[in-house]
Chain A
Amino acid sequence: MKNSFKYIGQAVFALLAFTLLLTLGGCKKLIENNASGGQLLDKEVYKDSATVKGALAGMYSSLITNNRYSVLLSGFPGYSADELTNYNLEPVNQFVLNSILTTNAEVNNNFWSAPYSVIYAANAVIENVPAGSNLSPKFQVQSIAEARFVRAFCYFYLVNLFGDVPLVTTTDVEANKTSPRSSVAAVYAQITADLLFAQANLPANYALSAGARTRANKWAATALLARTYLYLGNWTAAETQATSLLENTALFGLEDLSRIFVPTSKEAILQLYNDASGINPYASAMLPSPTAPTIPKYVFTDQLKSAYAAETGDGRKAAWSVTVTAPNAVVYTCPAKYKGTTAGNAEYFTLFRLGEQYLIRAEARAQLNNVTGASADLLALRQRAGLGATPASDKDALLLAVERERRIELSCEMGHRWFDLKRTARANAVLGAVKPTWKPEAALYPIPADQRGRNGNLTQNPGYIN
């Protein structure tokens, strides 16, 4: 009896010790580890304004990575439209022939995947900044506004290249990895909401980027908003937005053709810094090499060449195109909007400029039957190019005049021609006439097969197999 009491006592002791160990072991404090030395955790980034500024600047540096938002977004839609052509390289040819394979890596990497990684960065800012303990409320709102601008900018290109796309507005990977495509209207609604927020909460000057026009502000948001309304056919709103920019003569004005893209250009609304080398990526990619000429990668189509030559005295032909004689003795014409092929930051790639706003307002006014106003806006650009007023005098003629003016003024810039043909439903008529391989379904790029393999909920655009 005495013995069993002893055993019970011992058992109780053992049990107590075990419980003690359990509490110790289960203690979460014991397994809190130090942060990684090589990378910064989100919560560390969003504590202080200095690191948040780094994260905001990081969104822009992602935009310039691999020249996606400069060279590629100007060149490849240019191939798809009737601006540019190319004579040798296989995956690029698919754009020229309007028969892009679903396995095309350029589409997958540059046009589909890259913007979503920038969108992730923007979503992270939007999600994390409100909890940032050391951030002033003003800075918080401003940072969110800037991120929402960048997000809207990325979605604008996604929706115009692919049609319906997944609308991702959080960083939750488990929720996002299988989200299906949202309708074009839903995407535009998000773009508009983001831009209105950005317009209301971003400064009306370039203080954020110390005078350089390299960070989004109220006016960058206004410029994209004007373009968005134009694409949506909301003529009044487009006119209003464009007008607010055009009337801000203190900050903006048209520059001489040779000064449009320089860092001090008054025409620039939003530009991107060059990379660390200080060479303009557009210039080094598009301009043919003067020392060792080969067949250039980006070559004017006959259509663009004749558009440039349509009106005698148009200064833009000389200013924005260059010819080169390749070893095969053929003379090629190439885009030459930027010329800074050497280090020195002579030009910054320009995402938004005042010239486009004249064209937006001209088109909106024409749609609203404001013939005089539309003509006046066109005249502003034509005068700079050394031309007189447009002969167009009614709405339809003016709309065609705007289309012609846009194709020259905005040629080989940010896919304008490709999007214009599609949004005005002129693609079939224009491209069908000059491209034997044209088919209406080519207006939308294919959803990359690789992505459809990774997310079974992604549907394919019509006309594409797989």
Chain B
Amino acid sequence: MNFYAFTKGMLWPCPGSKVLIKTMKLLIILLTACLIQVSASSFGQKINLNARNVAFKTALETIAAQAGAKVVYPDALLDRTKNVRISFTGLTLTDALDRIFEGQPNLAYELKDNTIVLKKNEPSYIDRVKGLAEALFTADIDVRGKVVDSLGLGIPGATVKVVGKPKTIYTNSGGDFTISGLKAGEMLEISYVGYKTIVLPAKQDLGIIRLIASIGKLDEVTVMSYSQTTRRLSTGSIGKVAGEEIIKQPVSNAVVALQGRVPGLFITQSAGYAGGNVSVTIRGQNSLTLNSSAPLYIVDGVPFGSAPVEKSIGAFSPQSDFSPLNTINPAEIENVVVLKDADATAIYGSRGANGVILITTKKGRPGRTNVAVDFSQGFGEVVNLVEMLGTADYLNIRKQAFINDNITPTVTNAPDLTLFDQNAFTNFPELLIGNTSKQTNAGLAISGGDAFTQFTLSGTFRRESTVYYDRSDDKATQLRLSVQHKSRNSRFATTATVSYNSDNNQIPIYNMNLTNYGLPPNYPLYTPTGALYWGPGYTNPLAAFDTYNNLKSTNLNAAATLRYTVLPGLDIKANGGYNLIDVKGNMVTPVSATNPSFNSLPQIISNNNYIRTYIAEPQVSYEFNTGKGKLNLIAGGTWQQTETVQPFWILGNYTNPQLATNLNQTNILAKNSDYADFRYTSVYGRAEYNLSNKYLVSANIRRDGSTKFGNNNRFGNFGSAALGWIFSKEKLIGDNLPWLSYGKLRASYGTVGNDKIRDYEYQSNYSGSSPYGPSTTLTPARVANPYLKWEETRKLDIALELGFLKDRILLTAGYYRNRSTNLLQSVPLAAQTGFSQYTSNFDATVQNKGLELELNTINLDKGGFRWTSSFNITFPQNRLVSYPGLLTSTNNNTYVVGQSLNLRTVYQSTGIVNGIATVADLNGDGVITGGIFENGRGDQYVYGNNDPKYYGGFNNTFTYKGFQLDVFLTGVSRTATRGDLNFGTYPGFGYNLPVTLADVGLKYSTNTASVAGSRYNLFTGSDAAVESASFVRLRNVSLTYSLPAPFSKKIGMSSLQIYVRGQNLITFTDYKGLDPETLTTQVPPLKMFTTGIRATF
């Protein structure tokens, strides 16, 4: 247990308040300075040694302590070291180590990420001959040892192989092994998934053999459906984003930070304020409704809803969509794993039909108790405000419009020309969303533990204000406790994680549009007395900010895992989890927020919604070694219950503003409550076979039951199979293509079910209706569809993975094809059934296919300078393969067979003739009618679709000494309707115009009923109004500087980092609207800058 001795040595000698005060002082200094340029590095500090015959261990310890480095090695390694008699001053760490290792012929070291890894020196040729001779003449021995990880915990199932002999055994549950009949000096190769393979000579007692976690991307351990794998050995399609990559982005919603990181994962932010909803699809839209195409989110094993809770059931409020994912603390995320194909998602079955996003939070590590403090502050603003015309230009257009229409401007039809000041100017975009958003983040985390029990306790406070006129904000407080424990013999293990996050969002519902953004620039905001001015026919844009909007959400997530090893290789596991996400909303609309001429009463909408999920998952796994192969069997089950509840919803008038939210003081006009209960159960089996780490086979079979379906169709059977071939391990390839360090071909095919429809849709039921005289009434509300069954997606995935130059270049090229059938949809019914529609399996087929490319490279790794890049790009294609009866269905104006579900159908513009928009009469019937030409119904033809043609991300990381710089670009290629149309109307109408829209050449007119005005929709709905919405965005730049260890030590810290981060810094686009990502009138994602400091004690 030398390792612990070392870490103990590094413990801060006088913990306590002194340190804290010191730290606080430092914090303040640093923050005032914002960013101090210090030119030093953690590995560049000077090492001093004055050793007069000290043990090698002590010398090493001293050097490591000065450098703030860790030392890792198998116990037995230092048995035969010679004492050190060297003194030096001012050497670099490498030089210092070289010096003390000079006298140790059997030892070598490796320096990686602040860790000194000791190893046995490679024996020379003579040594080897000597060893062989020794082996020949020595007797057989029984070798025993214990394989442990960096935490000193036994690794069960590690491979111990005798080099050059067909003898392989595996360690037991405690990591122990014994091999009999070996010659001393024979070499043993010890390997385990996610660790570097080590080779060491056999001897009777090898003691503790410590494996070093592999840091190569290929061998990172990845959680996949309750089990673990690595990229190298996985047969499925898995993407992974590390917590560090997420935390580098100053965004409140962790999912937003995944943008551009994983091929096949397409994310769009709906708005640039905290809590704004995000749309996420993995490999395209499988169902006809986008809503049922959302992936499954699992946080620490507990399913987590991604749809806004306040709109989950019952009556809705007009409140903006608040993304529940915003209540997950990005700083607490260890990593996010994205499971894409049938093989990877198989264990989640139907719930993961649209892919799975697994979020794992940070766990404590053994070692001394660690206190980390993180504080950052930042600001953000809207980069691109759509520029509107100035007063003079606007008024000229208006005057000309009146002349064109031959109408005299009057106080009623043209207040802007007659009533308002002709020289006044308000920049409405600047007024409404021109503020600076401020972001504050403060976090404290305490973690530590011993080899058997570890914990982490953390808390974060975050505040983020908006760029709106009223500077409203979102505040979040997040607390988390995670504990892990393992019995002495490692047979029993348990983990528990509880997090409680609360969020208080006061951001108003506010969209930019014609009536606020496009107001005449000379519109007066206030009356001479200072009250809000309501011009005839206009809305005062500031009135909406008098509304008090508040969503308070709390999210409690608790998860526990128990594991017991019954027999070596045979584990019993159980997961249990609970998630409660509760949202209380209040929207108070005082009289001042409404036009006084409406004589509105003060109004309140108050509601509460919550979603409660319980989950229990028993599992048995069995690992079986057969000579060169390893067979892994897992059988398990899932039981889940999700209750979606609206305890109350009311709409009423209040009298006393202070008691507006008190129901007692409210005259209730409308009320509602609702409840839905969903249960899900499944059993599954998975078999994985790994032959010599070369041939990989896996297969899944599962049976899912869901209460979304009636008794006869409740259960569905699904399965998948996958193959992997690491061909680089074949001798033929290994010998002939030495530059190919890794090559794998994998393929998977499988079926998954989807049950994403509302609850109870298979049952008929009654709801209360208007009374009949004195009697209350019940009328049928829904027709039973006992035939409702699982939607099915067949997923095919093929990928080639290649590694070149010792895996410095890793390339993955993948092809996927998902085909969904039995689509669950609201299907129109003939009225003779009593209803106009019901939820049914629709006999259409939707296909998503695509190509995903991912390239990870280490471009430079020399002299302490390291430059790594990762690039990914996805080419998706969505297609409606078949839709029987489309032409006679109500969807004949929405879909075309053979095209994407997200069609863009437009008129064919024939130009603007004399100021009037004209389009082609495609079907030649003499009139221009809406409807899809391809479906034989009108003059709008299929121009393309709203899907991205391709999208991707490109990240570069540069590290040099204590500096780390990340530069991250994302890009999307697609088209959209001209973005400036969102903020303008027909030129000459009583609203302002974006500058870009003023010169289209339309004849000015004061009303949309004029010849020119009535044809405006032929312009906006034509191909002339489609533009490129492609963009490349400098999504993130992050610069981190770690102060040299001696310096941080002096001020009482074990490490100290300062950082500057920038988000959405530059966007390259031709799009004319606010933002090519959102494409809407919502406030766009902000350009953010934050600076912060992170210290550990």
- B930 CB → nearest A CB, Å: 15
- A271 CB → nearest B CB, Å: 10
- 23 A/B residue pairs, CB under 8 Å, sorted by A: A14-B635, A26-B703, A26-B715, A31-B679, A32-B679, A35-B677, A36-B674, A41-B764, A61-B772, A117-B780, A117-B835, A120-B783, A120-B833, A165-B832, A174-B785, A176-B833, A177-B829, A214-B773, A273-B772, A275-B770, A451-B832, A453-B888, A455-B830
- CB pair B779–A21 under 8 Å, yes or no, is no
Residues of B within 8 A of A (CB): 313-314, 566-567, 569-570, 572, 618, 620, 622, 624, 633, 635-639, 641, 643, 645, 673-683, 685, 703, 705-707, 711, 714-715, 759-760, 763-767, 769-785, 787, 828-836, 838, 885, 888-890
- How far apart are the CA atoms of A18 and B634 in the complex, in Å? 9
- A439 CB → nearest B CB, Å: 26
The interface residues of chain B lying within 8 Å CB-to-CB of A62 are 769, 779
Within 8 A of B (CB), among A1-44: 7, 10-11, 13-14, 17-18, 21-22, 24-28, 30-42
Q: Mark A29-66, 1 if CB is under 8 A from B, else 0.
A: 01111111111111001000001011101111110110
The residue that A124 contacts in the complex, of B569, B679, B780, with Cβ under 8 A, is B780
- CB pair B769–A39 under 8 Å, yes or no, is no
Q: Select the residue from B620, B680, B682, B781 with max chain A CB neighbours within 10 A.
A: B620
The interface residues of chain B lying within 8 Å CB-to-CB of A212 are 773
- B559 CB → nearest A CB, Å: 20
- How far apart are the CA atoms of A288 and B675 in the complex, in Å? 46
Q: Mark A150-181, 1 if CB is under 8 A from B, else 0.
A: 00000000000000011010010110111100
- CB pair A34–B677 under 8 Å, yes or no, is yes
Known: A25-B682, A173-B829. A120 touches B780 (CB 8 A): yes
Q: A381 contacts the other chain (Cβ, under 8 Å)?
A: no
Q: A116 contacts the other chain (Cβ, under 8 Å)?
A: yes
- A119 CB → nearest B CB, Å: 7
Q: A298 contacts the other chain (Cβ, under 8 Å)?
A: no
Known: A26-B683, A37-B645, A55-B766. A116 touches B676 (CB 8 A): no
- How far apart are the CA atoms of A59 and B682 in the complex, in Å? 42
The interface residues of chain B lying within 8 Å CB-to-CB of A57 are 771-773, 775-778
The residue that B567 contacts in the complex, of A10, A31, A173, A276, with Cβ under 8 A, is A10
- CB pair B570–A21 under 8 Å, yes or no, is no
Known: A171-B764, A173-B785. A36 touches B759 (CB 8 A): yes
- CB pair B681–A31 under 8 Å, yes or no, is yes
Known: A13-B566, A120-B835, A166-B832. A53 touches B763 (CB 8 A): no
- A216 CB → nearest B CB, Å: 12
- CB pair A273–B780 under 8 Å, yes or no, is no
- B625 CB → nearest A CB, Å: 9
The residue that B680 contacts in the complex, of A28, A31, A112, with Cβ under 8 A, is A31
- A127 CB → nearest B CB, Å: 10
The interface residues of chain B, by DSSP majority, are classed as strand
- B274 CB → nearest A CB, Å: 32
- How far apart are the CA atoms of A22 and B703 in the complex, in Å? 9
Q: A113 contacts the other chain (Cβ, under 8 Å)?
A: yes
Q: A299 contacts the other chain (Cβ, under 8 Å)?
A: no
The residue that A38 contacts in the complex, of B314, B620, B774, B838, with Cβ under 8 A, is B314
In order of increasing CB-CB distance, the 10 nearest A-B pairs are: A120-B834, A37-B675, A25-B683, A113-B831, A455-B830, A273-B773, A18-B635, A58-B777, A57-B775, A54-B778
Within 8 A of B (CB), among A419-466: 451, 453-456, 458
The interface residues of chain B lying within 8 Å CB-to-CB of A176 are 830, 832-834
Q: A121 contacts the other chain (Cβ, under 8 Å)?
A: yes
Chain B residue nearest to A168 (CB atoms) is B832
- A298 CB → nearest B CB, Å: 25
- A60 CB → nearest B CB, Å: 5
The residue that A21 contacts in the complex, of B622, B637, B767, B889, with Cβ under 8 A, is B637
Known: A31-B705, A37-B673. A61 touches B783 (CB 8 A): no
The interface residues of chain A lying within 8 Å CB-to-CB of B683 are 21-22, 24-26
- CB pair B676–A454 under 8 Å, yes or no, is no
Chain B residue nearest to A125 (CB atoms) is B780
- How far apart are the CA atoms of A33 and B783 in the complex, in Å? 19
Chain A residue nearest to B616 (CB atoms) is A30
The interface residues of chain A lying within 8 Å CB-to-CB of B711 are 28
- CB pair A39–B783 under 8 Å, yes or no, is no
- A190 CB → nearest B CB, Å: 14
The residue that A116 contacts in the complex, of B784, B834, B890, with Cβ under 8 A, is B834
The residue that B767 contacts in the complex, of A11, A22, A38, with Cβ under 8 A, is A38
The interface residues of chain A lying within 8 Å CB-to-CB of B679 are 30-33
Chain B residue nearest to A114 (CB atoms) is B831
Q: Mark A103-124, 1 if CB is under 8 A from B, else 0.
A: 0000010001100110111011
- How far apart are the CA atoms of A38 and B830 in the complex, in Å? 26
- How far apart are the CA atoms of A121 and B778 in the complex, in Å? 10
The interface residues of chain B lying within 8 Å CB-to-CB of A451 are 830-832
- CB pair A11–B681 under 8 Å, yes or no, is no
The residue that B681 contacts in the complex, of A30, A58, A455, with Cβ under 8 A, is A30
Chain A residue nearest to B672 (CB atoms) is A38
The interface residues of chain B lying within 8 Å CB-to-CB of A42 are 763-766, 784
- How far apart are the CA atoms of A64 and B569 in the complex, in Å? 71
Chain A residue nearest to B619 (CB atoms) is A21
The interface residues of chain A lying within 8 Å CB-to-CB of B782 are 39
The interface residues of chain A lying within 8 Å CB-to-CB of B703 are 22, 25-26
- CB pair A58–B706 under 8 Å, yes or no, is no
- CB pair B828–A454 under 8 Å, yes or no, is yes
In addition to A40-B766, A41-B764, 10 A-B residue pairs with Cβ atoms within 8 Å of each other are A25-B637, A38-B673, A40-B767, A40-B778, A42-B766, A57-B773, A61-B769, A117-B835, A173-B834, A453-B828
The residue that B570 contacts in the complex, of A13, A31, A60, A458, with Cβ under 8 A, is A13
- CB pair A171–B777 under 8 Å, yes or no, is no
- How far apart are the CA atoms of A14 and B775 in the complex, in Å? 62
- B649 CB → nearest A CB, Å: 11
- CB pair B639–A36 under 8 Å, yes or no, is no
The interface residues of chain B lying within 8 Å CB-to-CB of A113 are 831, 836
Chain A residue nearest to B620 (CB atoms) is A17
Chain B residue nearest to A454 (CB atoms) is B830
The interface residues of chain B lying within 8 Å CB-to-CB of A60 are 772, 777
Chain A residue nearest to B682 (CB atoms) is A25
- CB pair B635–A31 under 8 Å, yes or no, is no
- How far apart are the CA atoms of A30 and B707 in the complex, in Å? 10
- CB pair B624–A10 under 8 Å, yes or no, is yes
- CB pair A39–B832 under 8 Å, yes or no, is no
The interface residues of chain B lying within 8 Å CB-to-CB of A11 are 622, 624
- CB pair A454–B637 under 8 Å, yes or no, is no
